[in-house]
């Protein structure tokens, strides 16, 4: 199989998928104003893989001679992890903005399951074969693969299989062709992706007192499957003027409520089913690889915050004021701490049980918590440095209206910065920290890789507390006969 082109990708979306947005059924998703910008971004990513100047960074040849996208190569060495970083940075540099759910982040969730082949083999050897097949298939067929983790859960105080069980995704039938599933998932990019790894939601999968087997299911689902309905949220940026909204008009990623109305999942796409141990395992490890790609995006967002704040204070002559420098230094500290986590996570990378090279889990998960916890504070600092013009500047049509140009030039130009150039910078900063899209992105970042409590659980579960306990035992001369809770 070959690397897809942008046009191959566009054509592949014409598969009869059932997509709804703003009260209409979408029949031509590639040209629909809500989806066209982000589909064009993904198409550009596909085309980049064919350009001579990017080939080395974005693609790689496998031992069998097949050429695949660099982001899909199973990481076996630290250099492979560095290659992933180069991939993400090269793509984002070319695009001039940040997109998350474009395939490279979500492939890692299948690698987490690939690591569990031994355990899957004990349950049913076909599961291990299936995950190997799908990891290779995404790479060889260059598929746009996304991630479906979260169900609309209803009343959280009720048990998973109580009266609300019907809202959670579960198996309703099995036949010789496969399993039939019913339920729903939230999923960014589903409407314009090829397939998703659908897996159990966050829950207590160790609870053996209730019958949860029907919910413990993981599979690959084709996004054009009969019975699958994509119910999308309204756009907040797509369709807006690209001059006034340089980021939201291009990079908005549409989120979907994906309804599985008795969807048949063929056996070859079933990665596990009716198996609580697998459900528990995948929930514990799901972001083992993907959070690396995710935090790389937050790093790029931090870079844009610094750049937007810096250019604004430089043009207004504030850079030499120590208090302004201190604010910039806080932004730099934020950026460099994320960078340090990512860099150290690779230099201290660990071999997984499946023989893959995973970023150091403790350093990666603590980096993710740090990056997400402080982003709103840093966005606020950038907002403060850019100043109130961020919120009051008229759009470009007004700024360039010949009838009022004289006033605009007098009150908006500063030094070498024309009113028009200043407005462009303010529009960029607005889309980073002040537009509807900016607000949406902060919520996306907070939740898209699970909510904060689950991210803290990942930190707790991946940090080895033993040395800390032993250090204090020794220093405080505590009795070694004391018992501990594990
Ligand atoms: C823009 C956006 C895009 C998304 N994209 C995707 C996607 O692509 N794929 C996907 O699978 N999901 C996606 N999601 C869903 C996302 O993963 C969930 O929103 C997230 O996991 C939280 O689940 P919930 O919304 O059901 O919140 P709930 O589970 O209801 O939790 C809400 C809040 O309650 C508190 N809380 C709940 N349970 C506990 C607990 N046990 N301990 C402590 N506090 C608790 C926390 O404060 C938590 O944040 C997306 C969400 C958003 C907002």
Tell me which residue has its CA closest to atom 53 in ligand 1.
Answer: 444
337-376 pLDDT, tens digit each:
999 999 999 999 999 999 999 999 999 999 999 999 999 9
**301 and 211: one domain?**
no
* C-beta of 256 in contact with ligand 1 (< 6 A): no
Q: How far is CA 31 from CA 17, 26, 38, 128, in A?
A: 15, 10, 11, 39
**70 and 175: one domain?**
yes
**273 and 299: one domain?**
no
Whole-angstrom distance, CA of residue 280 vs CA of residue 343: 29
Whole-angstrom distance, CA of residue 14 vs CA of residue 191: 11
The tokens for 199 are 């897996």
Give the pTM: 0.95
**323 and 269: one domain?**
no
CA-atom Rg of the chain in angstroms: 24
Does residue 66 contact residue 1 with C-beta atoms inside 8 Å? Answer: yes
Q: How far, in Å, is the centroid of ligand 1 from the Cα of 454? A: 9
Whole-angstrom distance, CA of residue 59 vs CA of residue 451: 33
389-426 pLDDT, tens digit each:
999 999 999 999 999 999 999 999 999 999 999 999 99
* Domain that residue 390 falls in: 290-465
Calculate the dihedral angle through the C-alpha atoms of 401, 406, 407, 411, rounding to the nearest 10 degrees: 110
CATH number for the domain harbouring residue 448 = 1.20.140.10
Identify the domain boundary among 285, 303, 330. Answer: 285
* C-beta of 148 in contact with ligand 1 (< 6 A): yes
| DSSP per-residue codes, 252-303 | ---EEEEEEEEEEEEGGGEEEES-HHHHHHHHHHTTTTHHHHHHHHHHHHHH
**134 and 32: one domain?**
yes
In a domain, 475, yes or no: no
Among 38, 186, 200, 368, which is best to mutate for testing ligand 1, by the most ligand atoms less than 8 A from CB? Answer: 186
In a domain, 476, yes or no: no
Whole-angstrom distance, CA of residue 72 vs CA of residue 139: 5
* C-beta of 411 in contact with ligand 1 (< 6 A): no
Whole-angstrom distance, CA of residue 333 vs CA of residue 381: 12
**CA–centroid distance for 229 within its chain:** 22
In a domain, 484, yes or no: no
Whether pLDDT at 211 is above 80: no
**386 and 244: one domain?**
no
Among 105, 255, 447, which is best to mutate for testing ligand 1, by the most ligand atoms less than 8 A from CB? Answer: 447
pLDDT at 212: 83
pLDDT at 10: 98
Identify the domain boundary among 285, 314, 344. Answer: 285
**326 and 362: one domain?**
yes
**233 and 359: one domain?**
no
pLDDT at 7: 98
Number of domains within the chain: 2
CATH number for the domain harbouring residue 220 = 2.40.110.10
């Amino acid at each position: 199989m070959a690397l897809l082109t942008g046009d191959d990708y566009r054509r592949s979306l014409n598969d009869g998928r059932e997509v709804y947005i703003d009260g209409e059924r979408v029949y031509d998703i590639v040209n629909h104003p809500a989806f066209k910008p982000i589909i064009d971004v993904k198409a550009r990513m596909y085309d980049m893989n064919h350009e001579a100047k990017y080939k080395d960074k974005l693609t790689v040849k496998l031992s069998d001679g097949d050429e695949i996208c660099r982001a899909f190569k199973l990481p076996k060495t630290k250099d492979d992890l560095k290659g992933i970083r180069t991939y993400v940075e090269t793509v984002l540099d070319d695009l001039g903005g940040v997109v998350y759910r474009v395939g490279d982040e979500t492939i890692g969730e299948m690698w987490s399951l690939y690591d569990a082949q031994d355990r899957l083999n004990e349950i049913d050897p076909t599961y291990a074969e299936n995950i190997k097949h799908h990891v290779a298939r995404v790479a060889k067929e260059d598929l746009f693969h996304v991630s479906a983790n979260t169900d609309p859960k209803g009343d959280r105080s009720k048990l998973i299989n109580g009266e609300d069980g019907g809202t959670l995704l579960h198996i309703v039938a099995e036949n010789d062709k496969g399993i039939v599933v019913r339920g729903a998932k939230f999923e960014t990019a589903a409407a314009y992706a090829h397939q998703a790894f659908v897996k159990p939601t966050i829950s207590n999968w160790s609870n053996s007192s209730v019958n949860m087997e029907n919910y413990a299911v993981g599979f690959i689902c084709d996004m054009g499957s009969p019975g699958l309905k994509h119910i999308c949220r309204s756009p907040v940026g797509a369709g807006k003027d690209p001059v006034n909204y340089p980021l939201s008009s291009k990079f908005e990623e549409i989120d979907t409520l994906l309804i599985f109305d008795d969807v048949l999942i063929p056996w070859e796409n079933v990665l596990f089913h009716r198996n609580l141990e697998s459900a528990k395992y995948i929930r514990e490890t799901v972001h083992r690889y993907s959070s690396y790609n995710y935090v790389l995006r937050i790093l790029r967002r931090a870079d844009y915050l610094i750049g937007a704040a810096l250019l604004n204070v430089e043009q207004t002559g504030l850079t030499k004021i120590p208090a302004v420098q201190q604010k910039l230094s806080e932004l730099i500290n934020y950026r460099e701490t994320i960078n340090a986590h990512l860099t150290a996570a690779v230099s201290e990378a660990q071999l997984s049980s499946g023989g893959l090279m995973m970023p150091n889990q403790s350093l990666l998960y603590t980096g993710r918590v740090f990056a997400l916890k402080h982003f709103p504070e840093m966005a606020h600092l950038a907002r403060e440095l850019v100043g109130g013009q961020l919120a009051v500047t008229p759009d470009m049509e007004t700024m360039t209206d010949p009838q009022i140009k004289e006033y605009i030039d007098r009150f908006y130009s500063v030094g070498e910065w024309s009113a028009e150039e200043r407005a462009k910078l303010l529009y960029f900063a607005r889309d980073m920290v002040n537009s509807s899209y900016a607000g949406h992105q902060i919520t996306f970042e907070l939740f898209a890789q699970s909510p904060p409590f689950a991210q803290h659980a990942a930190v707790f579960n991946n940090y080895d507390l033993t040395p800390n306990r032993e250090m204090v035992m020794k220093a405080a001369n505590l009795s070694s006969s004391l018992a501990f809770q594990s």
